[in-house]
Amino acid sequence: MKKILDFIRSVIKELKIMTWPSKAEVWGSTKIVIAVSLILVVFIFFSDQILNWLIKQFIN
C-alpha cells in the first residue's frame, strides 16, 4: 500500500512541475488539426474519384 501512495504522490508532484499549454495555444493547435484533417479529406476524396475514373476507363 505504501508503494501505491508513493507512486500517487510522485505523479502529483510531476504534474505540478509540468507546464500546461494556455487556452490560446490549445485553440491554435486545434485549428491546425482541423485544417489538416479537412485538407486530407479533400485529397483522399479526389484521389478516390480519379482512381475510380481510371479503373472504369480500363474496364470499358
60 pLDDT more than 80:
no
pLDDT at site 10: 95
Q: By C-alpha distance, which of 24, 8, 25, 4 is closest to 16?
A: 8
pTM across the whole model: 0.65
pLDDT at site 30: 98
Angle, alpha carbons 21-24-29 (nearest 5°) = 75
DSSP code of residue 20: P
Average pLDDT over residues 5-18: 94
**12-50 tens-digit pLDDT:** 999 999 998 999 999 999 999 999 999 999 999 999 999
